[in-house]
Amino acid sequence: MAIASPDLDLSTLFAPRAVAVIGATGRAGSVGQAVFGNVLQHSYAGVVYPVNPRAVSVMSVKAFPSVLDIPDEVDLGIIIVPRDAVSGVMAECGEKGIKAAIVITAGFKELGGAGVELEGQVLQAARASGIRLLGPNCLGIINTEPRVSLNGSFARLMPRPGNIALVSQSGAVGVAALEYAQGEEIGLSKFVSVGNKADLNENDFLACLRDDPQTDVILFYLEDLAEPRRFFQLAQEITSGPKPKPIMAIKSGRTAAGARAASSHTGALAGSDEAYDALFAQCGVLRVETLKQLFDYALAIGMQPLPKGNRVAIVTNAGGLGIMAVDASVRYGLEIAPLQDATLEKLRQGLPPAANIHNPVDVLGDGREDRYRVALDAVLQDDQVDGAIVISTPQLMTDLPAIAATVAEVTPPYGKPTLVCQMALGEIDETLAIWTKARLPHYSFPEEAARAMGAMARYAASIQPASQEVKCFTDVDREALKNLLVRVRMAGRRHLLEPEAHELFRDYGFQVAPFHWAHSPEEAAWAAESLGYPVALKIVSPEVIHKFDVGGVRLNLNDPKEVSQAYREVLAAVAAAQPQADLQGALVQKMAAKGRETILGMTRDPQFGPLLMFGLGGTYVEIFKDVIFRVAPISEHWAEKMIRELKGFQIFTGYRGEPPADLGAIAQCLERLSQLVLDFPEIKELDINPLMVFPEGQGAAVLDARVFISEQ
């Protein structure tokens, strides 16, 4: 995979002065005809040359036997020749001085076998001449910018100009998206089908679209990421800068990933999909599920201001649809704004007595544009309203275009997002022009508007705070830890014994339940005396994985006699259950005070690097899988967000008379864990389970942990 320079100039790809379509033909139904026809027939502002050794002209345009025969300079080559001929053609392109090439021909890496090799040859040919290559196995590109107007693809449609760019890893999904956009009269700035990504990949286009003045919103359909870490950096920069551009992505294949072999809870719970979720969330990319959502949200975010919060006002001329909008709003995470007294008073004065002045505001079936004006002015002025959904249905006296015009006129000065839902398929045409001109996103159903508003609020809330500094803890003992890991490795082990794990976390500044590794009953009793009671006693043996199951754990021991007795019993029980186990004494550990059980963990993804996990501990982990993943390193902001995003977050907030939990301590543990796993790449996987979280101000302590290190 090529590492694209962040400053790569793709202007020859998107705005070439001259294009050669190599493999152009007039044969109906062929790709060569489709591509050449698209370039020729959609007002391309440059010059297009068909290249075909067996034709004098293609679609009446003079053809050339090879690019080398074209008398003028050519910037871009679009290649549709049989796959075995592609690398030869690429070499000719190089000789011609062509700077960018799109290989539409399929039959390469996607087929495996010889295809992989062929693709390598094509890439090599391109590299040899400094050609940047899109594809192979792609649909091509489209640039709707009027001064270029290039459809260099075999899609049947030329989208109308707009401010949304779409990059698709699947040609067919690209086509489906273009069809949908056309049907909904949605404009696009650029369209790119990245195909096999032999050279240029999504990151190159991300960098390019960042700087594209025609593009306000960037959409992706992805099946994988070529270089996740670079995508992360670019996306973070684009979404959080001074003039942020929203990025939305479908990443398909949620369910395709097979289970991976994992030693830890964290590893078992971390599918690749969780990694993508984490990555997208952290770099400000709104992940969506469907093409419909992609465009629904892009329109809202691309055309309207972002809401400052999630409180929505609904204005409708039909009560039933107002209720449905309320249900949907709540479902999509919005709050139904409680209107202030002054607002209610305005509504009372401006609307008829039968109108519902409370949110959802019902201007009634005979409500005309004047009532919409009153209602919208009132609710949008209200500080407690962050955005509005306007519903209009065709009732007897309803003048839908007049209502659309009123919404377009009234709402912009308030700087709050307004989405419209007109439930009349027949009259869309009359009102569409009004909405388009006013940049008002429109939806067919209240729930679609509510879902889009919910996405806007979620997106607005996810925008990064300016400072995202990752803390560096200095109260950590790297040397000690290094030595510890060397010792483990020298003992021929790939996992730490429990006392070693506690030592590791203690070295990295975690609060750890006081412990001692005892090697005799007497030492255990002595340790208990010095740690203080009650204590727990647990077998230490590299072979014993499930300590509880073999009688290897005793809890709540309260005096030295009990402790030494327990030591003997535990060793005897384990020896009986696992005669081969090498028993290395027992861990004597002070029992911790009552707290909330949580789990902290890390597993490494081959592409994404270390993934941190936080979740509710105990049975919760496995039954409810209420865990959150993030990619390390993480800032305090993200550590806090991880905690708050748990479904069961309420458990920490002083629920049911319990004191609130020490959230700061959890966040710090996460930040320390982040530093630990970056400092020690040889730590492969780990669980702290439980991390016992005490009331506010009392910290959080590691009570048990499993740490696995890599083979070398």
Pick out residues in 173-202 that bind its own copies (CB under 8 A): 173, 175-176, 179-180, 182-183
Q: Return the residue of 65, 253, 532, 660 that touches its own copies, per CB under 8 A.
A: 253
Preceding peptide of 534 cis, ω within 30°: yes
Give the separation between CA 52 and CA 50, rounded to whole angstroms.
Answer: 6
Q: Which residues contact 470 (CB under 8 A, 6 or more apart)?
A: 633, 634, 635, 671, 674
Which region among 75-83, 394-402, 521-529, 680-688 touches its own copies (by CB under 8 A)? 394-402
Contact assessment for residue 671 and residue 634, using Cβ atoms and an 8 Å cutoff: yes
**Segment 463-522, which members bind its own copies (CB under 8 A)?**
none
Give the separation between CA 157 and CA 179, rounded to whole angstroms.
Answer: 7
Q: Return the residue of 151, 263, 282, 317 that touches its own copies, per CB under 8 A.
A: 317
Q: Which regions of 23-135 does DSSP assign to beta strands (E)?
A: 47-51, 57-58, 61-62, 76-79, 100-103, 132-134
Which region among 316-324, 479-487, 630-638, 688-696 touches its own copies (by CB under 8 A)? 316-324
Which region among 122-130, 287-295, 606-614, 682-690 touches its own copies (by CB under 8 A)? 287-295
Which is nearer to its own copies, 442 or 604 (by Cβ)?
Answer: 442
Q: Is 250 in the site for its own copies (CB under 8 A)?
A: yes
Give the separation between CA 363 and CA 600, rounded to whole angstroms.
Answer: 52
Q: Return the residue of 71, 213, 242, 426 that touches its own copies, per CB under 8 A.
A: 426
Which region among 46-54, 395-403, 606-614, 683-691 touches its own copies (by CB under 8 A)? 395-403
Which is nearer to its own copies, 415 or 618 (by Cβ)?
Answer: 618
Which is nearer to its own copies, 314 or 588 (by Cβ)?
Answer: 314
Q: Return the residue of 223, 277, 430, 679 that touches its own copies, per CB under 8 A.
A: 223
Work out the number of other CB atoms within 10 angstroms of the CB of residue 243: 7
Smallest separation (angstroms) from its own copies to the CB of 348: 16
Which is nearer to its own copies, 125 or 181 (by Cβ)?
Answer: 181
**Segment 607-666, which members bind its own copies (CB under 8 A)?**
619, 622-624, 626, 647-648, 650-651, 655-657
Give the separation between CA 145 and CA 141, rounded to whole angstroms.
Answer: 12
**Segment 440-459, which members bind its own copies (CB under 8 A)?**
444-445, 447
Which is nearer to its own copies, 35 or 218 (by Cβ)?
Answer: 35
Which region among 65-73, 228-236, 328-336, 373-381 touches its own copies (by CB under 8 A)? 328-336
**Segment 114-173, which members bind its own copies (CB under 8 A)?**
154, 156, 168-173
Which is nearer to its own copies, 355 or 665 (by Cβ)?
Answer: 355
In the 3-class helix/strand/coil scheme, how is 103-169 assigned residue by residue? Answer: ECCCCCHHHCCHHHHHHHHHHHHHHHCCCEEECCCCCEEEECCCCCCEEEECCCCCCCEEEEEEEEC
Task: Tell me if residue 594 falls in helix, strand or coil.
Answer: coil
Give the separation between CA 332 and CA 455, rounded to whole angstroms.
Answer: 8
Q: Return the residue of 11, 30, 468, 698 that touches its own copies, per CB under 8 A.
A: 30
Closest Cα partner for 651 from 642, 660, 638, 664?
660
Q: Is 330 in the site for its own copies (CB under 8 A)?
A: yes
Give the separation between CA 167 and CA 604, rounded to whole angstroms.
Answer: 28
- 653 burial type by CB count under 10 A (0-12 exposed, 13-18 middle, 19+ buried): exposed
Closest Cα partner for 136 from 178, 94, 89, 97?
89
Contact assessment for residue 275 and residue 631, using Cβ atoms and an 8 Å cutoff: yes
Which region among 196-204, 315-323, 342-350, 537-545 touches its own copies (by CB under 8 A)? 315-323
Smallest separation (angstroms) from its own copies to the CB of 245: 24
Q: Return the residue of 45, 114, 116, 256 that touches its own copies, per CB under 8 A.
A: 256
